Amino acid sequence: MSATDAAETDAQERLRRGQADHPASPVMRFGPDRPLPLDSGAAIAPWQIAYQTYGRLNADRSNAILVCHALTGDQHVASDNPVTGKPGWWTMMIGPGRPIDTDRWFVICANVLGGCMGTTGPASTGPDGRIYGLDLPVLTIGDMVRAQAMLVDALGIGRLFAVVGGSMGGMQVLQWAAAYPDRVFAAVCMASGARHSSQNIAFHEVGRQAVMADPDWCGGRYLDAGTSPKKGLAVARMAAHITYMSGQSLHAKFGRNLQDRERLTFGFDADFQIESYLRHQGMTFVDRFDANSYLYVTRAMDYFDLAAARDGALSKVFQGSRTRFCIVSFTSDWLFPTSESRAVVHALNAAGASVSFVEIESDRGHDSFLLDIPEQFRIVRGFLTGAARAAGLAFAGRD
C-alpha cells in the first residue's frame, strides 16, 4: 500500500469512527427515561438509532416501508455512503421509479442495534463516558427490531406498509411479522430464513475467532488502546465473503486466472486473481467496519431461531397473521439455501397466512439479492403493487 493509500485509509477510518456517536444521518435519541429492553434481560439507556429516509410520508401515514439491512450494511441504502463515498447498497431496488419507488413510498432504513454507523453499538460511548466495547450486552435480532419499532413509533407511524430485507435483513422482516403482526401489512424476505444454521454459525465463529486472535483486538478495548485488529477482521471478512458467492460465480469470475503475471511465481504472494480479490475485500472492509460490531451482529444472527420460543413450531409463530408475505430465494445461495425459505413458506401455509414464494435462478450465490438480477426487481415491484391495491392505497390504481 502506498503512503497516499495509507493516508486515505486512515482518514476513512477516522471518519467511520466518528459515525458511532455522531453519524452523518438523522438520529433518534432515547434518554435515560426510555430504555431499550433487551432479550437478555438487560436494558440500554440512553441509546440512539441512526436512520435515513427517502420519499415523503403521506397524510394518513400509510405509505411507509422499512428496509432492513444485512450484516455489514447500514442506513445509507439509496444515497451515498458518507464514509466510503460510494452509492447506497440497494440503489437498484430503491429510488424514483425503482421497484421500491420513492415517488410513492416513504422509505426508512436504520442502522441496526450493535452496528457502527450511529445506532448504539460496541463502538458507541456508554453512559459512563467510556466506549462500550464488550460491556455492551449481547444483542439479538429481536432487540434490533424492538429498537426499530421505537424509532417507527417516534416517527409517528403506527403501521408499516411493508418491511423488506435480505439475509440478516430478512431475519428482521420475519421478526417484525412475528413480534408486531398488526403493524406489518406486507413483508418481503429475501435470501434468508427463520433460523441460523449450524454451518452458518460455524462460519461466524471462525470470523469471531479470527478477530479475537488478533493481539490488536486487546480484549475488545482496541479503541481505548489506539489499536485496530485489522488483520483479524480482514481474515474474518475473507472467509465470510467466500460464503456470499457461489462456486460457479467464483469460477466464472476468476477461475484459476493469474493476477498481473504470466506464470506462477512459486511464492505466497497473490498469484491468483481470487487471492488478490479476497485480500482486497478484507483490506477495504476493515476501514469501514468496527471489529466489535462484527462480533455483536454475527452473534445476533447466530442466536436467531424464530421457532425456538414456540417449541420449534414455526407455524405457531405466524398463526392468525394477516400480513402478506413474499419470500424469495436464489438457486445458488448455499448460505441461505432455498430449503430455508421453503421451511418459512411451509410454516406460513400451515398458519393459513398469505404467501407468495419465488426461487430465482441465479448462479451468483447469496449476494444475488444485492445484484442486478431483473427478476427480483419485477417480483418486488409486482408484490408491492398488488399489496397496495389490496390496501386500497390511492396511487395503486395507476399501475
C-alpha cell at 279: 485480500
Residue from 76, 196, 204, 366 carrying the catalytic annotation: 366
Closest to a second copy by CB, 99 or 133: 133
Residue from 76, 333, 362, 368 carrying the catalytic annotation: 333
C-alpha cell at 248: 460457479
Q: Is 269 a known ligand-binding residue?
A: no
Q: Considering the complex, what minimum distance in angstroms separates the CB of residue 340 from a second copy?
A: 10
Q: Considering the complex, what minimum distance in angstroms separates the CB of residue 192 from a second copy?
A: 16
Q: Considering the complex, what minimum distance in angstroms separates the CB of residue 172 from a second copy?
A: 18
Collapsing DSSP states into helix, strand and coil, what is residue 110?
A: strand
Tally Cβ neighbours within 10 Å of residue 61: 15
74 catalytically annotated: no
Q: Is 224 a known ligand-binding residue?
A: no
Q: Considering the complex, what minimum distance in angstroms separates the CB of residue 157 from a second copy?
A: 30
246 catalytically annotated: no
Q: Considering the complex, what minimum distance in angstroms separates the CB of residue 213 from a second copy?
A: 4
**Distance in angstroms (rounded) separating the CA atoms of residues 168 and 303:** 12
Closest to a second copy by CB, 78 or 291: 291
Burial class of residue 1, CB neighbours in 10 A (0-12, 13-18, 19+): exposed
Task: Give the 3-state secondary structure percentages of the chain, helix then strand then coil, rounded to 5.
Answer: 45, 15, 40
333 catalytically annotated: yes
Phi/psi for 263 (5° steps) reads: -145, 170
Euclidean distance between the first and the last CA atom of the chain, given in angstroms as a whole number: 52
C-alpha cell at 183: 403493524
Closest to a second copy by CB, 5 or 205: 205
Closest to a second copy by CB, 226 or 267: 267
Closest to a second copy by CB, 50 or 238: 238
**Distance in angstroms (rounded) separating the CA atoms of residues 104 and 250:** 38
CB of 161 within 8 A of CB of 186? yes
Can you give the binding site for a second copy, defined by CB under 8 A?
Answer: 39-40, 42, 134, 137-138, 195-199, 201-203, 205-206, 208-210, 212-215, 231-232, 234-235, 238-239, 242, 247, 250-251, 253-256, 264, 266-268, 270-272, 274-275, 278-279, 282, 295, 299, 302-303, 305, 308, 334, 337
**Distance in angstroms (rounded) separating the CA atoms of residues 357 and 377:** 14
Nearest to 321 by CA among 192, 191, 193, 184: 184
Residue from 167, 192, 228, 332 carrying the catalytic annotation: 167
Residues classed as catalytic: 167, 333, 366
Annotated binding site for substrate, which residues? 237, 367
